[in-house]
Structure 1
Amino acid sequence: MKQDNNLCNNLKQTRIRLGMSQQDLAKFAGVSRQTISGVESGQYAPSTTVALRLAKALGCQVEDLFWLEPDTPEIEAIPSETMPTGEKLRLSLARVGGQWVAYPLIGNDGFRLEMIPADGEGDRQPDSTTIRVKLLDEPTKLHHTVVLAGCTPALSLWARATERWHPGLRVHWTSDNSMRALHRLCRGEVHIAGMHLYDSKTKQHNVPFVRAALKDTTAVLINLGIWAEGLLIESGNPLGLKTVADLVQPDVTIVNREQGAGSRQLLELTLQQAGIPFEAVKGFEQIVCGHLAVAQAVATGRASAGVSTASVATAFGLDFIPLHRSRYDLVILKPYLEEAPVQQLLSTLGHRRVLSQLEALGGYDTSQTGEVVATVEPKPVLPDLLC
């Protein structure tokens, strides 16, 4: 008997369930105890005769004891930028722009309220631009996946609601700030990027930043909602905060967002307009990632204030000082609009149930939700002029 790595068995479990020792089973099957031990450990593959004897002794069919592990298909995927190298990881997979992209299920990206099942596993090598992924699920299911990147928890709400109405659709959401989401879209890692950036020079939301980031593909901006953005403060406002000017008080400490976040951009712009140097605000360099992290810092007393949205303030029972009405848009490269899963997801934006969910969050204006608010063409490349 030779070892066969593809042969699986549950001989030990069946034997123990029947209250038999290895010696008992060996006696009934007419084989040695060493044979039983070798088969159970996978060290030996039994001959046809031995397999039939074991099945007879245990009162079952051979197929109940032994089976072949099916060959596991593999695919080649592009690793997302967030994937570390040199370790085997649980991965989620999606088809973006005609190629497979692998997303590591690590940190907050590995959970919703429960752990997210993996589509496959693999390890990224330092010098390789692709990764071999061993699939853990049916490949056909992976084609019906849309990948969202953005910071607002409303994206998760929208995704979960859509999956309920379209059971065959999967929505993979990663929490990224506005600039990071946009860059991931341009790198071909996601189908849709959510963003809320304001350009004070042009007085436009999002469009100037999309135009600057685009390479050679037209992008469409679809509105998710217009939200109130401002300072989250402790319930009851014990410090009596009213404007950003109060952030310089010696007993006030804030938390800030990372570079590229719309909330950080708003804080910087508001401080500049008030003539307040960044270094005058205690905690300006105390960075947290994500709207929920800002709220948790204020709710637990780690910070006196931080910039986020009215809906997040409501969810955490915090007071709110409005600073700006920000337009949150979904940026999609035009070719992706033709893909069936993307169409299916976007078709739910105008649904009354989605609008009701957004409105119930508080601080959301849904009057433009689902509307195309801009189409942005890439900058033309001018030919070099000969002197």
Structure 2
Amino acid sequence: MLEEEIYTVEEVARLLKVSKLTVYDLIKKDELEAYRVGRQMRIERTALEAYKQRGRGSNLKPVEVIENEVSATAGRIIISGQDPCMDLLARELEGKGAGQPLRSQSGSLDGLVSMYRGEADIVSTHLFDGDTKTYNIPYIRKLLVSQSFVVLHFIKREAGIYVQKGNPENISEWPDLAKPGITIANREPGAGARVLLDEQLRLNGIGKDSVAGYDSIYTSHLAVAGAVAAGRANAGVGISRVAGSANVDFVPMITEQYDIVLLKNQHTEKLIQHVKDLLRSVDLQEELASVGYDTTGMGEVLYEQ
């Protein structure tokens, strides 16, 4: 018997040619069968086919009708971001009765694009801007143009370069990634680590074509570190917390700022206040600090318009 094919929400959205928010709404209304894996949802191929069959000639509303009915008051909260700290935030929001958290594992840029399209309620972002040497605000202002939003500081964490144990290639600075004989494992377009690498290459006058392995894509920090540990690459950009799990060494390069973005409108006032209260709570700050995050300034309003 063939193993059951399993889809993510993003994959089902692409197959049905609708937004992820519409897929979440189908799940919430029990029109599409799904199950949780941690904070994420998974849909089996048979469940998707069953939905499509029931929709042919039945009383189920077409997905395009449902898409027009989706609103921010439906009781679910789409939380976008890949760091485990977002799972803690989702847990706390659910515990406070703020709504039903549903997690999307989108990268920083994709998360902001989803928010602009109305497909995400809370987006985490860590995007380095080489021109200003700052994080996040330059990107958020450009991508959420004409939108009202608030940016709250969440945590800080160390970003840098994974290297093999003992750092045999003596990698210590960004230009070392372009040295002859060095191959990197890279992140997908839109990921904060990919943006950090691209900006550092630009600032150092290094063309992407000069970096071997630039097109070798891995979709998480752990996958990048694993590629380095297995010898498929000499180096890769990621965060310090993952290094110990993958048996690699870590060269710290920058303290990155990990912030949260929420749109401001009549439907999100309570959600914004819930998030502010949680980020400023001593209990959550202590829990995050205990696992290595820098919580200085957590909950501070960095920007709003």
TM-score category (smaller protein):
0.7 to 0.9
- The counterpart of 1:130, out of the listed 60, 64, 78, is 64
Alpha-carbon distance in 2 for matches of 1:342, 1:117: 30
**2:183 alignment partner, SS class:** coil
Q: Which runs of structure 2 are paired with 1:79-94 in the superposition (5 Å)?
A: 83-85=13-15, 91-93=23-25
TM-score (norm 1): 0.61
Q: Which runs of structure 2 are paired with 1:1-387 in the superposition (5 Å)?
A: 83-85=13-15, 91-93=23-25, 111-112=37-38, 122-123=51-52, 130=64, 143-163=74-94, 165-166=95-96, 169-335=99-265, 338-341=268-271, 343-362=273-292, 364-376=293-305
Alpha-carbon distance in 1 for matches of 2:149, 2:11: 21
**2:112 alignment partner, SS class:** helix
Alpha-carbon distance in 2 for matches of 1:252, 1:105: 46
TM-score (norm 2): 0.75
**1:255 alignment partner, SS class:** strand
Q: In structure 2, what residue type is equivalent to 1:331? A: V
Q: In structure 2, what residue type is equivalent to 1:366? A: T
**2:278 alignment partner, SS class:** coil
Spell out, residue by residue over 1:100-133, the C-alpha distance to the aligned partner (whole angstroms, 9 max, x if none).
999x999xx9633887699x974499xx762659
Q: In structure 1, what residue type is equivalent to 2:299? A: G
The structure, 1 or 2, with the larger RCO (C-alpha pairs under 8 Å, 6+ apart) is 2
Alpha-carbon shift at residue 365 of structure 1 (Å): 2.2
Q: Indicate the structure (1 or 2) with the bigger Cα radius of gyration.
A: 1
Contact 1:94 1:143 in 2 (8 A): no
Alpha-carbon shift at residue 320 of structure 1 (Å): 1.4
Q: In structure 2, what residue type is equivalent to 1:196? A: H
Contact 1:359 1:365 in 2 (8 A): yes
Contact 1:337 1:343 in 2 (8 A): no
Alpha-carbon shift at residue 174 of structure 1 (Å): 0.8
- Which deviates more, 260-269 or 313-322? 313-322
Contact 1:252 1:304 in 2 (8 A): yes
Contact 2:79 2:101 in 1 (8 A): yes
Contact 1:233 1:305 in 2 (8 A): yes
- Would the alpha carbon gap of residues 330 and 249 (structure 1) be closer, same or farther in structure 2, given more than 3 Å must change? same
Alpha-carbon distance in 1 for matches of 2:29, 2:123: 15
Alpha-carbon shift at residue 339 of structure 1 (Å): 4.8
CA RMSD of aligned residues (A): 3.8
- Would the alpha carbon gap of residues 372 and 169 (structure 1) be closer, same or farther in structure 2, given more than 3 Å must change? same
**2:152 alignment partner, SS class:** strand
Spell out, residue by residue over 1:63-110, the C-alpha distance to the aligned partner (whole angstroms, 9 max, x if none).
xxxxxxxxxxxxxxxx979603359x9953399xxxx999x999xx96
Contact 1:256 1:288 in 2 (8 A): yes
- Would the alpha carbon gap of residues 242 and 317 (structure 1) be closer, same or farther in structure 2, given more than 3 Å must change? same
Alpha-carbon shift at residue 230 of structure 1 (Å): 1.0
Alpha-carbon shift at residue 159 of structure 1 (Å): 1.9
**1:335 alignment partner, SS class:** coil
Q: In structure 1, what residue type is equivalent to 2:230? A: T
Spell out, residue by residue over 1:23-72, the C-alpha distance to the aligned partner (whole angstroms, 9 max, x if none).
xxxxxxxxxxxxxxxxxxxxxxxxxxxxxxxxxxxxxxxxxxxxxxxxxx
Q: In structure 1, what residue type is equivalent to 2:64? A: T
Bigger helix share: 2
Gaps of 5+ in 1: 1-78, 134-141, 377-387
Q: Number of residue pairs matched? A: 277
